Structure 1
């Protein structure tokens, strides 16, 4: 029996200042077939990150995009990473904590676990029934009803082109912030909130999503390639400011389960990051699908997600 060929790999201990760049071991360059890639993809269970490889003196470093990878995975001093090269500029990355154990970025939350340790940046997928209890506020804060100034507004997040969401504060981020804002239609039956409507093309899926109405604040997102493949989804900044606040995590809910997803924000943009890719995979979301995110619980930042599918 032929032996399976193992992927070439290397490990790096996180020492000194690793937050802005990380050096690739020179002995590993032989696996790049004579040409070190200028752009790489780092993959973990939480998603995929674009990270540029830059030459500094005689060495090559992960640089542009690396800082965001560090932030999204909550990497800390004295942890270490194993990089397995999958070819085509792709690395599969495992993260090991100070205790020597592999960090799991997707794990079940027990029904009675109501807290997250401060600084714990793992993406956690809740698997309990939605009528069960046990999901507390991720950052210990609450958001009052009065603070949600846009509770009766609809915010659309739409784009006809793929957006590079790995770059913060881009012009395309601003494009999403400037998308249509309108008033919702009159609230009807709630039965369709969990529907998985199949549509023949993206425009039909969008038109169906536009018929969605609720007494709660919500926004719509057309899933283009970046949202499906890169493990990120932009949240309108106005929606975050008025309804989510500074919470580090939100809970995405369907008719059966909840997923705990990290909310990454800065002054000009807000994104769902670690945990979003798992939600995409669990629901087999594809380019052209439309998701409606409805904030049904402000205190715990629970957003019910309705999916309008596109067949094309």
Structure 2
């Protein structure tokens, strides 16, 4: 092998010239893989090396901004020589339904501000919902229902049916669609509830973006909290007794399940094409028992009856 004829001293001098002319580029980005549920995510640790590099620049407050321009103010907490996103971080997590196995990419914009990209467990970036105010309030932690536009969900008129058992509601344009849903539910072996309920089929918007599920507006007004409530914490109960807390948001023209919905949907194993019946069993707690007719059950019942 031919030895290099370059002088080591010359190399060092050239490096000094390069550094003097161009400077050293400091890292501007870091990533975090979420390994804790929302309920335990009170704060998020900033990597030590990153915090050390910008220790003289970072203030006590930071602004997190997503691609749509929405921002969340969070405090920076120094604890045991570590730096954390603290107050406001959990609201950010809840607003975008960030949960286990989500991947977040932070890019430092200067002045203690960060741009954030959010990726769900499928390795795809989420669909960000727009909030006209461009800021996330602690009271909201959600998207205002009448401002939401799911890419795959058409806003429909609710229908209300009085049955021999309970009063049923659905997210359908006509009562025949309500009856069609209930026919599939009964065919899958689920009895009509005896108490107030609403029924809806699961569409891709409720699982892909992971932000919300449209709820029957009349059902929400009649059975989910008082008429003056804008937000209400409801409890969804599965057939095996497991429970999830989900925030219900009621607007003038729309009602939705927001924060907590996607956690329920994933842990219960919902799929596009499933039909869910939400039966209110305890009014004072806003507890809804969820009966699920799986798409596979519906298809099998349809084949057997053909």
TM bracket (short chain): 0.3 to 0.5
Name the structure where helix makes up a greater proportion of residues.
Answer: 2
Give the greater-gyration-radius structure (CA): 2
Query: So what's the TM-score if we normalise by structure 1?
Result: 0.44
Higher RCO, 1 or 2 (CA under 8 Å, sep at least 6)?
1
